[in-house]
Amino acid sequence: MFEKKMDRRSFIKTVAVGAVAAGASPVLFKEAAAAPVPNKWDKEADVVIIGAGAAGLMAAVQANTAGKKALILEKAANAFHSSSTISGGYFAAAGTKAQKAAGINDSVEKMYNDIQKFGGFMNYPHLLKLFCENSAEAYNFVYDNKLAFLRVEPTGGHGTPRAHRSKSFTGRDYIEALLKVIQDRKIAIEYNANVTRLFYDDKKQGVVGVEVTTKGKKSNVKASTSVILASGGFSGNVKKLDNWIPAYAGNGVVIGGSGSDGEGIMMAVRDVGTPTTHMQYSATYPMGIESGKRSGPMARYYFWTPLGAIIVNQEGKRYIDEFTPATKITPELAKQTGKVHYVVLDSAMWDAALKQYPAEVLFCLPSWSMDRVNEEIKKENVLFKADSIEEVATKAKIDPRNLAETVSRYNQYVDNKKDLDFGRKTLPNKLQKGPFYLVKMTFWTCLTLGGIRVNDKLQVLDAFDKVVKGLYAAGEAVGGIHGDTYLFGCAFGWAHTSGWIAGKNAVKG
Ligand SMILES: Cc1cc2nc3c(=O)[nH]c(=O)nc-3n(C[C@H](O)[C@H](O)[C@H](O)COP(=O)(O)OP(=O)(O)OC[C@H]3O[C@@H](n4cnc5c(N)ncnc54)[C@H](O)[C@@H]3O)c2cc1C
């Protein structure tokens, strides 16, 4: 009924007014929604791509391969501020050349089942299928284009090793490889180009171009075939995260790329009336070190736990098997006092990890060198060190008797090779050699799982599940691929794969 009574333009206006009332960005909604198509275009391309993250760059390569003129519009000053670039670069894919070279036998079905199970069966099957069936092709493209590949790693939640790691331990390796392709093929890319509007043509019943704001100056770019929205999620926007994800609101490190502000998603809501989905889910890890307000590094605690480290809450008690996949620990952390917990290490574990990895890798931030780590230990804010367990506990305001009891109980489990409390399987070393260290951790949010709705061709859907012609979406801007919980490597893998497919489909208009 509603569908019949309302035409698109009045519906979009209603959505926009509702969004303003709900507190959406005043910048975005300060002008009337559903702006008329301009009479004059300043520029034209076949396929206009919004965002130069992994999804946008992959899409551009595909459009170029099909002989189309692609134009990438990126609002940052270069392509190295995106979530893709600063990510850990873990890329989940099944059946890749790298897996085959390592003798790993994987399949689309296994990957599909693992991700679906991990995501609580809340993933859209059509997107998951698309991802799993095409992940190897997308990965192989970057691999074949001089990706600085390191290894394929096993990781919790994936039944088969399929998390592809690159040499720098960041996504920058991928972005550099893709930018080289973009440069070699002379694909147009404009920086400082903030796309501020999608133009919907009522007569053509589709998106026909975009408005771009470059250093305060507006211009209109015609997309003669289609527009691809690859503008990322909202993990760089504290306010949106706190508004939409109540479980973690007000706490923890927020680390998304500077352009991950969710404005691209809201632009699609405003201009074509697409609904959002899965907005309350994020990849929030239990390992943020909040050394500044909502900022700081993270502790790759999973490099310490295989050496014997344990995790305790503010009461000094273990509350979980430390080998539970990280994103499954997070909801349990949300129930702990102060929403914090601590990694407990002895000096043998601390030193062994630092022999294997530099501080910058252990703490996942280039500015966290060993000097910085030592400074933080002196500050006694997030890192603590003392000769005895009781002393280190006191420094962190943990009950010293509780922590001493927890450690002695855990040490017995190591002796007996059985964790009677949480069934932890890896019990290699006792915590016994001082000085002892505590690393205080809380949430660390790096990506969002919600976004706009698309079909299996990655065409954007409107509020009535009808295709919005001329508009595709890819990467983190799309909601619903991960379900309720992100599985390692699947966002970066999805960004590349969905960009690859969106680029292939978008050339058809
Ligand atoms: C610290 C960190 C670690 C991570 N680690 C991993 C990992 O190891 N494995 C994994 O699977 N996932 C990881 N992720 C998530 C993953 O990196 C992202 O989900 C994925 O890279 C998103 O790619 P994208 O191309 O969709 O978006 P992005 O990489 O966010 O790129 C979007 C681009 O669009 C631009 N943009 C936005 N709006 C506009 C606009 N209106 N006009 C023009 N340009 C615009 C932005 O500036 C940005 O450059 C991590 C994320 C972070 C932040």
pLDDT digits (tens, 9 = 90+) for 418-459: 999 999 999 999 999 999 999 999 999 999 999 999 999 999
pLDDT at 27 over 70: no
Model pLDDT, residue 274: 94
Cα of 86 from ligand 1 centre, angstroms: 8
Which residue owns the Cα nearest ligand 1 atom 46? 259
Q: Which of 18-32, 72-86, 213-227, 494-508 has the lowest mean pLDDT?
A: 18-32
Mean pLDDT, the chain, integer = 93
Cα of 233 from ligand 1 centre, angstroms: 7
Is-contact 445 283, C-beta < 8 A? Answer: yes
Domains of the chain as residue ranges with CATH: 2-281+449-506 (3.50.50.60), 284-445 (3.90.700.10)
Mutate to test the pocket of ligand 1, among 81, 87, 229 (most ligand atoms within 8 A of CB): 87
Mutate to test the pocket of ligand 1, among 492, 498, 501 (most ligand atoms within 8 A of CB): 492
Greater model confidence, 26 or 431: 431
Residues in the ligand 1 pocket, defined by CB under 6 Å:
50-56, 73-76, 82-84, 86-90, 171, 194-195, 230-232, 235, 255-257, 259-260, 263-264, 446-447, 475-477, 489-493, 495
Is-contact 86 495, C-beta < 8 A? Answer: no
218 backbone dihedrals φ, ψ, rounded to 5°: -95, 145
Model pLDDT, residue 32: 41
308 backbone dihedrals φ, ψ, rounded to 5°: 125, -5
| Mean pLDDT across 10-37 | 50
| Mean pLDDT across 48-73 | 98
Pairing of strands 436-448, 253-254: parallel
| Mean pLDDT across 250-270 | 95
Model pLDDT, residue 7: 52
Tokens 């008797």 sit at which residue?
401
Residues in contact with 374: Cβ distance below 8 Å, sequence separation at least 6, in sequence order: none
pLDDT at 278 over 70: yes
Point out the ligand 1 atom lying closest to the alpha carbon of residue 364.
Answer: 1
ipTM at complex level: 0.99
Cα of 89 from ligand 1 centre, angstroms: 11
Residues in contact with 306: Cβ distance below 8 Å, sequence separation at least 6, in sequence order: 426, 428
Model pLDDT, residue 12: 54
Q: Which residues pair with 72 in a beta bridge?
A: 49, 189
Residues in contact with 470: Cβ distance below 8 Å, sequence separation at least 6, in sequence order: 204, 206, 207, 208, 223, 225, 226, 227, 509
Model pLDDT, residue 5: 47
pLDDT band of residue 14 (cuts 50, 70, 90) is low
Model pLDDT, residue 509: 85
Share of the chain above pLDDT 70, in %: 93
Greater model confidence, 20 or 201: 201
Instruction: Say how far apart CA 420 and CA 393 lie, in whole Å.
Output: 23
| Mean pLDDT across 57-67 | 98
Share of the chain above pLDDT 90, in %: 90
Nearest to 427 by CA among 438, 439, 413: 413
pLDDT at 20 over 50: no
Instruction: Say how far apart CA 370 and CA 362 lie, in whole Å.
Output: 10
pLDDT band of residue 19 (cuts 50, 70, 90) is very low
Cα of 78 from ligand 1 centre, angstroms: 13
Which residue owns the Cα nearest ligand 1 atom 26? 475
Cα of 175 from ligand 1 centre, angstroms: 11
Model pLDDT, residue 456: 98
For residues 420-434, one letter each, b for 16 or more C-beta atoms within 10 angstroms of the residue's C-beta and e for the rest, the string is eeeebeebebbbeeb
Q: Which residues pair with 197 in a beta bridge?
A: 211
Model pLDDT, residue 28: 42
Cα of 460 from ligand 1 centre, angstroms: 19
| Mean pLDDT across 231-242 | 96
pLDDT digits (tens, 9 = 90+) for 369-402: 999 999 999 999 999 999 999 999 999 999 999 9
Give the CA distances from residue 187 to residues 49, 56, 181, in Å, rounded to whole numbers and listed in that order: 11, 12, 9
**Where does 78-231 have alpha helices with state H?**
83-86, 97-101, 108-118, 125-144, 172-184
Give the CA distances from residue 385 to residues 418, 438, 440, in Å, rounded to whole numbers and listed in that order: 28, 7, 12
Residues in contact with 30: Cβ distance below 8 Å, sequence separation at least 6, in sequence order: none
Point out the ligand 1 atom lying closest to the alpha carbon of residue 498.
Answer: 26
pLDDT digits (tens, 9 = 90+) for 130-164: 999 999 999 999 999 999 999 999 988 999 999 99
Instruction: Say how far apart CA 479 and CA 451 lie, in whole Å.
Output: 4
Rg (CA), the chain: 24
Q: Which residues pair with 253 in a beta bridge?
A: 444
Which residue owns the Cα nearest ligand 1 atom 1? 87
Cα of 82 from ligand 1 centre, angstroms: 5
Point out the ligand 1 atom lying closest to the alpha carbon of residue 259.
Answer: 47
Instruction: Say how far apart CA 266 and CA 12 lie, in whole Å.
Output: 12
pLDDT digits (tens, 9 = 90+) for 167-185: 998 999 999 999 999 999 9
Tokens of 471: 């508009």
Is-contact 317 335, C-beta < 8 A? Answer: no
pLDDT band of residue 18 (cuts 50, 70, 90) is very low
Tokens of 490: 């699947």
Model pLDDT, residue 10: 55
Nearest to 91 by CA among 56, 54, 128: 54
Give the CA distances from residue 409 to residues 312, 413, 430, 457, in Å, rounded to whole numbers and listed in that order: 13, 7, 10, 55
What kind and span of H or E run contains 500? helix 490-506
pLDDT at 1 over 60: no
